[in-house]
Structure 1
């Protein structure tokens, strides 16, 4: 009698377990890719706990579930793969503004001729100091302002736009993600554009000065002037850079909505 009761309870929990598993399959890539949901710097246990908590919330409070019951393990595997693919797309789109900040910082350090590896060779780090600084600064601004709830709301609303197991990979959705990736790359280059102008100005000044006074060895001043001048330009323009990057984060809501529309 007890075994029959347990079996009946497990069968009753079957749809709930499937819905939670599919929600977790969609949210797991987002938690690994988007820094607002953890990112790569967050411990694994924290990310998994966050994904499970959100999945349970979506099932219990949001009523998210499958329109049709699961008929076989093969069908369930197909739905899981669809949710994983859609989650990867959502995670990439949500993480693009932060990747743009990191790319812009690396471009800045490349132009200045500085990096963590060049200035601290014994540290064994190959990360860009400006890239990591802009990345974490943007994450902090997004988490302390009204941007993070906006992105969280977009992720939650995505379950109402694209039902569980309803994502259909299409060329339009793939091209939308590729276009957004190109826009993020352009944003990173735009962030480093003022530094490129400052570096070219320094090189032009040194070239003219060397032509006017060939007896003076001014080539050794190139690297220090680029580093110091680039640091001044970065310090003066950090506010404008943050506004440009935050605008990209705010545009994530519309990008996710369009992705969901193309993926239905």
Structure 2
């Protein structure tokens, strides 16, 4: 049996396999970080299948190529590390609005005193109910609305802006990601600020009432009042909070475009 045609065919596929592998190296961190590409809740096999499918699409349909040929295994390893770093940066930026929703919910539950660590010590879960609720609500709104294609197209357009092997981990790119992370933390605090103000107002009122009438025990009233009042305010302000978080999702496109400009 003559294996020379098969060997020649496999050798001709070598550059295509390298391109697919580099695309997969960039996409892999994104699927672990960005919930719109799977996130940590998606099974590993599903994420790997998605990475392979998108990598083949980028090579076959989008025409993504590697400008310079790979001459050694060391050069290939360096390119893979670059793509992993850039994919991690893109995944972090794309996931920041959803992390802001989770941080805001945890901040709310921390002040209300209704976190899972305090109310469900035997459940084995260390998640915040409000944090997980806002996080999944934002994901559902983005996927069901028209913003999911916007974010995904912004992520995939990065292959045209920053070509394979062209990423340079500059100081400007690092500062850009750090500033975006700080803005996401500020958004999370802004989401929880109204409930925090309400909880602090209740504490102030109970403190003044205790000083005015020390014979009345108001400590047992404070916790239920903060839980119920904060929950009611959260329920009434969910629409406003979602609008603030969706504005962060809309800004992902510009943030990724700027990241591509400073990272090449």
| Structure-1-length-normalised TM-score | 0.98
- Name the residue aligned to 1:102: 102
Gaps of 5+ in 1: none
Whether 1:130 and 2:130 are equivalent positions in the alignment is yes
Deviation at 1:120, TM superposition (A): 2.1
Aligned to 2:142: 142
Q: Give the whole-Å Cα distance in 2 for the aligned partners of 1:68 and 1:40.
A: 34
Match of 2:177 in 1: 177
Partner in structure 2 of residue 242 of structure 1: 242
CA distance in 1, matches of 2:22, 2:123: 42
Taking the aligned partners of 2:33 and 2:22, their CA distance within structure 1 comes to: 18
- Equivalent position SS for 1:123: coil
Correspondence for 2:15? 15
Please list every run of at least 4 consecutive aligned residues from structure 1 whose deviation after the TM superposition is greater than 6 angstroms.
none
Unaligned 5+ segments in structure 2 are none
Q: Counterpart in 2 of 1:259?
A: 259
Q: Deviations over 1:15-41 (max 9, x none)?
A: 110000000000000000000000000
Pair 1:62-2:52 in alignment:
no
User: Which range is displaced more, 35-44 or 112-121?
Assistant: 112-121
Cα offset, 1:188, TM superposition: 0.6
Structure 1 residues 202-243: Cα deviation after superposition (integer angstroms, max 9, x where no partner): 011112222222221112211111101100110010000101
Q: Figure out how many residues of one structure are paired with residues of the other and give that number.
A: 264
Equivalent residues in 2 for 1:156-175, closer than 5 Å:
156-175=156-175
Give the secondary structure class of the aligned counterpart of 1:2: coil
2:197 pairs with 1:197: yes
SS of alignment partner, residue 69 of structure 1: coil
With normalisation by structure 2, the TM-score equals 0.98
